[in-house]
Structure 1
Amino acid sequence: MASPVEDDVFGKLKNKADHKQNDDDLNARNFAQHQRSQERLAELIDDNTSLPVTISSVRVLHANRTRRSFLERVVNPILSANRDEQYTLEEALKEVGNATEKLNRFGIFKSPISVFLDRPDPTNPTSSPTDVDVYISAQERGTYTIKTGTEVGSSEGDAYINAELRNLFGGAETLNANASLGTRTRSAYSLAFESPILSNPDFKFQLNGFASSTLKSWASHEEVLRGGNSKLLWRTKNGHQHEFGYSGILRQVTSLAENASPTVRAEAGNSFKSSITHTWINDQRDNPMMPQRGYLAKTVSELAGYGPLKGDVACWKSEAESQVVLPFGDTGITLTAGLRGGLLYPLALGGNSTPQQSRINDRFQLGGPTNVRGFRLCGLGPHDGPDAVGGDVFAAGGASLLFPVPKVGKETPLRLQAFINGGRLLSLKNSNKEGGPMDADAVHSSVKKTLAGLRDGVPSAAAGFGLVYAHPIARFEINFSLPLVIRAKEEARKGLSFGVGVEFL
């Protein structure tokens, strides 16, 4: 026979179980009611998409640090008073959604941004039956973020600290300060200011100052950079990105190794580069780190030391890149193929009629785990003794077949990879028999011969397989590579290699 104490304990436990069951039932009923109300709201909107609507006012709530004039440029265009034609309910909801999405892209508000619609006060004599008030609840993010950490990859490790100040003057301005110390990039400091123009997240101005010291282990020297740049960035309606900028950089080739080659020793010292640049990107891939479909087209052009541009470096430098990604149905298997090429064309500096020879700071480098795999970092192209001295013309291409890891699934950002890639990197051939400076005609002839030389023989190439992981910040690859074609003086790398980056061939 149970004691009164035992009966009391079992009774309390039963009451608790009953209360929990009641709470679960209540939550289930509330959730079902919410779902039904959402469905009724969707049906109501669907049944009234052609209903005439007038947006009489738009109010942005909780944006206390953001300037009123800044917000007005975003929301005023959707007011009916600023339109010639009347809205339908469908059109009004679409325009409100576009304005909300624009606010979200400034990066100063917490996501998601909520939108509420309400009828105005019916006792107001100025209101009409079609009037609707729009309320946008935009909670502002914190004024600053500080990050510290370490990074390892591509033969380099470093520690960094980053500080970001947001919405400095109430117009989505950002100030970003960064400092890092590492093994290859021994030190790097930068201070960047960015501001949207006319409250447009697709039209921005940037001002950046920086200083860095990088050990160029493949060329027996250290490069020290100090300078700044300014940029205008804009995105078109069809998704094309443009970047136009000016930069002034003091470069120093210093701390030469004891076994530095004569080519590197001749480059030692200071140079000042004054240049304008333009970058165009058309990225239609669904994911830049591990795309499943789409294509990429990109060009980068730079003009230095020509006309009003000062400094002691004069050249035209151009690069082009393309990539296409083809899926094999819904299997998660994709074929990625890409091509890259570049040309460095020396120009005459100022009133001098003799074009300059290119400098090691400006020449292209090729080879490594993020471009032509199976070769050491900067292992392709011209070498002088132990040093990779770079080239003026290059072409590279590759293809990768990515497929899901068995028992892991195609939904994960993990893939197996089989690849083949290759490339050529050449320096301009000096047509002057005496080896001295070339005139403009000789340079033009040399460029044509060098471009034709890209087709001479089989390019340096390698094949292999590996594992790829696509993180939202960077892509990680570990591959086993087997060099297939190695040209004289080039440095191949057979076996395992590890690569971290944003752009891969």
Structure 2
Amino acid sequence: MAVGPTAGTDDDPDDAKKVLKWQEERIARRLRGQYESAALHLSNLIHNNLSTPLNIHSVRVEGANNARGSFLGFLINPVLLSEPHNDVQSVLHAARSIADVLLRTETFSSVEAHIEKARDEIAGPRDVDLVFKTRERGRWFVKSATEFGNNEGSASITARMLNVFGGAESFEANVSAGTTTRKSFQGTLSAPITSDLNCRADLTAFGLHRDHTSFASCSEVLRGAKAVVRGGKPVSGMHELAYEAVIRNIGGLTPTASMSMREAAGTTSKSAVSFTYTLDTRDDRVMSTRGMYGKIYQELAGLGGDASFYKAEAESQLSRPLLPGVSGSIALRSGIMWALSRPTLFPDRFQLGGPLSVRSFQSNGLGPRDGPDSLGGDIYWSAGLSIISNIPRKAHWPVKTHLWLNAGRLDAMDRSRSVVENIKDTVTRPSVSAGVGLIYKFDPVRVEVNLNFLHKIRVWCLFQPRDCVIRNTRFAQVLWMSENRIQIFVYLLYPYPWKLRPSLLSVSELQTSPGIIARRRQEMEMTGLKWTSLFRLRDTPLCTLYRLYECTVDFNEDEMMMESHYWFHDQPTWRLADIPDPQDPDTTRYTILAAMAEALVQAFNYKIALGLRRGITRDDPFLVRKFKNDANPPWEECPSWTGNAGRLPHVLQLYPPLPLGGNGPEPEPIAATGTNPFLLRNIRANTNQLRNI
């Protein structure tokens, strides 16, 4: 017997509320228990009678006022004929299958299945009717939208009509106007062509006006039609066969349009068939953490019209969780286009660059150019590596951190060379970008705010265009002649540790391997690397001091001269007095480093006395005469730690000694003027190239 609260004798209202609440909870528990008991009883009843004979006499669909009877039969008859339905289990399975296919037509918002005794007088005692009570969706749908992003804004109106002819057909029309796509219209009629609804046919008419002036000094007007048959599901593989007929017009040329773009202007037509295969098992199309995506596209044009080519593209993405809250993904895209009977046309070529392909580059800005115009290419590839993680302690936020690396290239096909040679040339000369940023997931899109690691290089190129062209052209020439370009890229871009670290070769290791510095410099293309801003950003005074030590022991005068010029001109903020103490455990090496630091002070002050200035006079040599008469030259001073390095107990012969002093005045501020810091430490070395101007 349940015991509940009792009301007080003074009729307290609070006690009365407690009694009422207890009564409501008691009734709710009783009803819930009864419901659970009934559900369990029904489940047991069905389970114990699954093999009971039962036949489907008829199927009725109620509420389908706008659906054709022939279409409903087209959907239901294959289910009824797929297997015999002569027991309870098979009848339940048929009811579930029919309800599912009715819902997948997108014509009905709800479908309820009922099993009723057959109404027909000639029906047997084991015959039943399957009755589906449906509620149809609204047939009309209209929406308007405004969109902004990627330097583009647009406004659009979309109208959709469902179940147009009573067979789950849909018609959708879209009209939009914007900044890049100035005007566009698209009307699509779609209808199922198989009873399982996994295969549909689309007929589309479209027209649009695109503004290409941001990369090609022209605009493009297209009008055409497209017929598509598609089948399958993305998770198991979707196939699409299409035919497209389109008329294109390249016009609206700007006054700065190049000759190539003027030659491409005019009206052309294309008649092409295409096939697309898509596989998508990602858990999220916007920001996937696991799964894969693959797409293969092939197009053959030349069945009439002006365009005649074969085009193939492949795209893939693989995502995997790395740590709790951290996932990584790698994406690859490539494409090739081969002209058949006529040269390829501008509207058909590939374009590459921008946030959807190679980040931090101008949209459609990569590839062959003629002046301000991107002409497009016939062969391309792009790759991207992304690591996405949650904000610490905010895993539920839609904002994620993002670390990425992109590479890619777009080229014109050289018909005088083989396809393999064209592919090899394109793959081995990528454009690379890397950076960090934030991602905001805003279904069905994602917004990225990125900071490019290589932005510093681009800013330097903007303000020093002459040096940018000279230095990076020279670096590119040296780099792509190297067989170790991948190793060089890894060395240059691997971010941990961010500041480069010196190699610690002993004197004996350098002397027993003569020429080791020249060989290593050739393998890593150190001369070319020092022309890049990214290397100079990651380099340190201590690394350069160790490289000068290696040049001294190995007696590589050319490298010593270039390292001295690099320190004096390219790293003007590296003051010699600020060189940190290397604290090298090798006494001999530490002594040579100290002597080299003092020799650099003497050499740099020698140049300063001649009128040279760090970071200034190489670009403007006419200032040398002005600085030579400077009353207060910016003399360099020795770092304090060099006094800790004493004299070696024995003579270290690195090269027959040559006097450090030479022609020209010696700077006054240096203590022990004319002294050789190497000879003072019992070391015989030649460092004359430090003074090379």
TM bucket normalised to smaller:
0.7 to 0.9
Q: Which residue of 2 aligns with 1:109?
A: 108
Cα 1:339–1:91 change in 2 (3 A) is farther
Residue 447 (structure 1) aligned to one of 419, 423, 439: 419
Residue 468 (structure 1) aligned to one of 429, 433, 439: 439
Contact 1:345–1:447 (Cα < 8 Å) also in 2: no
Identity %: 34
Aligned-pair CA distance for 1:100: 2.3
Contact 2:85–2:91 (Cα < 8 Å) also in 1: no
Cα 1:266–1:477 change in 2 (3 A) is same
Q: Which residue of 2 aligns with 1:320?
A: 314
CA distance in 2, matches of 1:368, 1:237: 27
CA distance in 2, matches of 1:284, 1:325: 10
Cα 1:83–1:454 change in 2 (3 A) is closer
CA distance in 2, matches of 1:102, 1:470: 33
Structure 1 position 270 matched with structure 2 position 239: no
Structure 1 position 480 matched with structure 2 position 451: yes
Aligned-pair CA distance for 1:157: 0.7
1:289-344 deviation line (CA, Å, top 9, x unaligned): 22232212211111111xxx110111111111111121247x34322111110011
Structure with the bigger percentage of helix: 2
CA distance in 2, matches of 1:91, 1:185: 54
Residue 338 (structure 1) aligned to one of 331, 343, 348: 331
Cα 1:93–1:472 change in 2 (3 A) is farther
Q: Any unmatched runs of 5+ in structure 1?
A: 1-9, 349-355, 432-444, 491-505
SS in 1 for 2:409: strand
Taking structure 1 as the reference length, what is the TM-score of the superposition? 0.80
Cα 1:11–1:212 change in 2 (3 A) is farther
Q: Which residue of 1 aligns with 2:142?
A: 146
SS in 2 for 1:63: coil
Structure 1 position 362 matched with structure 2 position 363: no
Residue 261 (structure 1) aligned to one of 251, 258, 261: 258
CA distance in 2, matches of 1:273, 1:152: 31
Q: Which residue of 2 aligns with 1:59?
A: 60
1:175-211 deviation line (CA, Å, top 9, x unaligned): 1111001111111111111111144421111111111
Q: Any unmatched runs of 5+ in structure 2?
A: 1-10, 459-471, 477-693
Letter in 2 for 1:275: A
Q: Which residue of 2 aligns with 1:212?
A: 208
CA distance in 2, matches of 1:39, 1:479: 57
Q: Which residue of 2 aligns with 1:383?
A: 369
Letter in 2 for 1:317: K
Aligned-pair CA distance for 1:403: 2.1
SS in 2 for 1:287: coil
Aligned-pair CA distance for 1:286: 2.6
Residue 136 (structure 1) aligned to one of 132, 135, 142: 132
Aligned-pair CA distance for 1:472: 3.9
Q: Which residue of 2 aligns with 1:406?
A: 392
Contact 1:315–1:346 (Cα < 8 Å) also in 2: yes
Q: Which residue of 2 aligns with 1:493?
A: none
Cα 1:83–1:105 change in 2 (3 A) is closer
Aligned-pair CA distance for 1:71: 1.1
Cα 1:401–1:347 change in 2 (3 A) is same
Letter in 2 for 1:103: L
12-21 or 231-240: bigger deviation: 12-21
Aligned-pair CA distance for 1:375: 1.3
Aligned-pair CA distance for 1:107: 1.6
Aligned-pair CA distance for 1:226: 0.8
Structure 1 position 298 matched with structure 2 position 291: no
Cα 1:149–1:89 change in 2 (3 A) is same
Contact 2:385–2:406 (Cα < 8 Å) also in 1: yes
Letter in 2 for 1:335: G
170-179 or 373-382: bigger deviation: 373-382
CA distance in 2, matches of 1:83, 1:344: 46
Contact 1:319–1:341 (Cα < 8 Å) also in 2: yes
CA distance in 2, matches of 1:135, 1:60: 6
CA distance in 1, matches of 2:117, 2:440: 50
Which one has the largest radius of gyration? 2
CA distance in 2, matches of 1:90, 1:335: 46
Taking structure 2 as the reference length, what is the TM-score of the superposition? 0.60
Q: Which residue of 1 aligns with 2:220?
A: 223
Cα 1:303–1:94 change in 2 (3 A) is same
Contact 1:368–1:374 (Cα < 8 Å) also in 2: yes
Cα 1:11–1:266 change in 2 (3 A) is farther
Q: Which residue of 2 aligns with 1:74?
A: 75
Letter in 1 for 2:163: N
Aligned-pair CA distance for 1:263: 1.5
CA distance in 1, matches of 2:388, 2:293: 18
CA distance in 1, matches of 2:264, 2:360: 29
Aligned-pair CA distance for 1:261: 1.6
Aligned-pair CA distance for 1:51: 5.0
Cα 1:479–1:237 change in 2 (3 A) is closer
SS in 1 for 2:422: helix
Letter in 2 for 1:342: G
Structure with the bigger percentage of strand: 1
CA distance in 2, matches of 1:295, 1:87: 43
Letter in 1 for 2:388: L
Cα 1:416–1:127 change in 2 (3 A) is farther
Q: Which residue of 1 aligns with 2:497?
A: none
- Spell out the pairing of 1:2-13 with structure 2 (5 A cutoff): none
Q: Which residue of 1 aligns with 2:176?
A: 180
Aligned-pair CA distance for 1:155: 1.7
CA distance in 2, matches of 1:70, 1:267: 50
CA distance in 2, matches of 1:171, 1:136: 17
Letter in 2 for 1:116: H
461-470 or 36-45: bigger deviation: 36-45
Aligned-pair CA distance for 1:16: 8.7
Aligned-pair CA distance for 1:37: 3.5
Letter in 1 for 2:172: N
Contact 2:381–2:427 (Cα < 8 Å) also in 1: no
SS in 2 for 1:96: helix
Aligned-pair CA distance for 1:36: 4.4
Structure 1 position 241 matched with structure 2 position 238: yes
Contact 1:429–1:449 (Cα < 8 Å) also in 2: no
Cα 1:48–1:473 change in 2 (3 A) is farther
Aligned-pair CA distance for 1:387: 1.6
Contact 2:409–2:427 (Cα < 8 Å) also in 1: no
Contact 1:55–1:92 (Cα < 8 Å) also in 2: yes
Cα 1:124–1:235 change in 2 (3 A) is same
SS in 2 for 1:138: strand
SS in 2 for 1:264: helix
Q: Which residue of 1 aligns with 2:96?
A: 97
Aligned-pair CA distance for 1:454: 1.9
Cα 1:83–1:237 change in 2 (3 A) is farther
Q: Which residue of 1 aligns with 2:564?
A: none
SS in 2 for 1:407: coil
CA distance in 1, matches of 2:246, 2:62: 44
Letter in 2 for 1:468: I
Residue 418 (structure 1) aligned to one of 393, 403, 428: 403
Contact 1:71–1:199 (Cα < 8 Å) also in 2: no
Q: Which residue of 2 aligns with 1:161?
A: 157
Cα 1:320–1:88 change in 2 (3 A) is farther
Contact 1:175–1:191 (Cα < 8 Å) also in 2: yes
SS in 2 for 1:313: coil
